[in-house]
Amino acid sequence: MAFQFDIKLTETNSPLVWRKVIVPEDFTFYRLHLVIQAVFGWKNRHLFQFCPGDHGSQPLITMAGNRTDGEYLDCKKTKVNEIFTELEQKFAYIYDFGDDWFHSITLEGITDQQLTNADCIDGKGACPPEDCGGAGGYYRLKRVMKFAGQPGHEEMRQWLKLPVGQGWNANYFDLEKTRARLQKALS
């Protein structure tokens, strides 16, 4: 069987940043973490956890060595089908405990498909750049990058490593590039 998830970056709008992925039922949460990193375009540079609510809610699923305030399940041993048991069930994925990027994960479907690897099947919106300062920094980045004459625009363009004349598009999403990045991350 395979699980189809809708994953939304909860603090974004205009556009809402989301991805739909399908994963084998026996994927570990660590593999799901790698899927989320790849399909959103994160760089896998920070701590993360899965939990049903806010930081540290139980069951907390993370890696050994990550900061925890109590008991946790090892993400490299815990499989998605051990936690996700019914349609519309929700869970959170929190990435970068400084910027606190909250992702809402919803189990949308369970299929009879026999998959050996994950796939991204849809999405919308560009993921905020790594280390941009959380939701507040992301909205500042979008505002500054909207017009070339904005104060700080040139500094932000250089920080983003954009070529001269190229802007940053919050609506950008390329399914084929995302799929290629996902396959590379899981190989």
CA-wise closest residue to 103 among 186, 32, 184, 23: 32
Q: Are residues 85 and 120 in the same domain?
A: yes
Whether 91 shows a pLDDT value over 80: the answer reads yes
Q: What is the mean pLDDT of residues 87-108?
A: 96
Q: Does pLDDT of 34 surpass 70?
A: yes
For residue 147, what pLDDT is reported? Answer: 83
Instruction: Say yes or no to pLDDT of 174 above 90.
Output: yes
ω into 24 cis (within 30 of 0): no
Beta strands at 119-124 and 73-74: parallel, antiparallel or unpaired: unpaired
Handedness of CA 21, 26, 27, 29 (dihedral sign): positive
List the 2-9 sheet strands across, edge first. 73-74, 61-62, 48-51, 90-95, 101-111, 2-9, 17-24, 119-124
On whether both 84 and 162 belong to a single domain, the answer is no
142 plus 92 within the same structural domain: no
The count of structural domains within the chain is: 2
**Which run of H or E residues covers position 49?**
strand 48-51
Whether the per-residue pLDDT at 148 is higher than 90: the answer is: no
Please state the rounded mean pLDDT for residues 3-26: 95
115 and 150 together in one domain: no
Asked whether residue 70 falls in the same domain as residue 141, the answer is no
Classified as helix, coil or strand, 96 is coil
Asked if 62 and 147 sit in the same domain, the reply is no
> What are the tens digits of pLDDT across the range 67-86?
666 788 999 999 999 999 99
Global confidence as pTM: 0.94
Residue 12 and residue 82 in one domain: yes
Regarding whether 86 and 104 lie in a shared domain, the answer is yes
Averaged pLDDT for residues 148-155:
88
More confident residue, 102 or 56: 102
pLDDT tens digits, one per residue of 48-70 = 999 998 777 889 999 876 666 67
Distance of CA 19 to the CA centre of its chain: 8
Determine how many CB atoms are found less than 10 A away from the CB of residue 50.
26
CATH number at 102 reads 3.10.290.30
Domain span at residue 34 reads 2-126+171-186
Q: Are residues 34 and 96 in the same domain?
A: yes
